[in-house]
């Protein structure tokens, strides 16, 4: 079994264990590794433009807002914008700040008939450390020192 298959099987097992509607759930380091190994895989960052500008961006990601700031209004053109930015056969890996919006975006894509939709658990900034009131200290893409640049 190849490494890509191992990563996808692990992600699928996680999703199945939680009865999530999308194909799989990856830890940040697994998502990064899969993006390096699978040429058709695409990282879809669904954070708002404001979040990307203030908190950082991931090189080579596709940016399609799930919700817009201010007001956190759902993007009514999400599916159309995603379809314009990606190949219909691409393996899509959704990421947001903590994983909640990525979960919703991936589920909506599966419901709309898109296959191969995965999420990045922990998100870009990770869970809130309740002892310090900060993110990026417990987990998440940035915490694991994966590639990102200031927006």
Average pLDDT of the chain to the nearest whole number:
96
Q: Which residues of the chain have pLDDT under 70?
A: 1, 151
Task: Tell me the percentage of the chain whose pLDDT exceeds 90.
Answer: 97
Q: Whole-prediction pTM value? A: 0.96
Query: pLDDT by residue (tens digit) across 15-36?
Result: 999 999 999 999 999 999 999 9
Q: How many Å apart are CA 138 and CA 46, to the nearest integer?
A: 21
CB burial readout 63-87, b (16+ within 10 A) else e: bbbbbeeeeeeebeebbeebeeebe
Q: Which CATH architecture has domain 3-120?
A: 3-Layer(aba) Sandwich (3.40)
Phi, psi of 138 (to 5 degrees): -100, -45
| Phi and psi at residue 134, to the nearest 5° | -115, 155
């Amino acid at each position: 079994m190849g490494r890509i298959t191992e990563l996808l099987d692990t992600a699928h097992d996680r999703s199945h264990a939680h009865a999530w509607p999308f194909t799989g759930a990856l830890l940040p380091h697994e998502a990064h590794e899969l993006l390096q190994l699978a040429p058709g895989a695409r990282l879809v960052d669904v954070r708002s433009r404001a979040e990307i500008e203030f908190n950082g961006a991931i090189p080579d990601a596709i940016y399609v807002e799930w919700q817009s700031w201010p007001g956190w209004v759902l993007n009514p053109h999400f599916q159309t914008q995603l379809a314009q930015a990606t190949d219909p056969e691409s393996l899509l890996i959704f990421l947001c700040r903590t994983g909640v919006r990525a979960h919703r975006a991936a589920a909506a894509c599966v419901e709309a008939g898109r296959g191969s939709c995965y999420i990045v658990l922990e998100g870009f900034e990770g869970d809130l450390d309740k002892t310090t009131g900060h993110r990026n200290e417990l987990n998440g893409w940035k915490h694991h020192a994966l590639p990102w640049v200031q927006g």
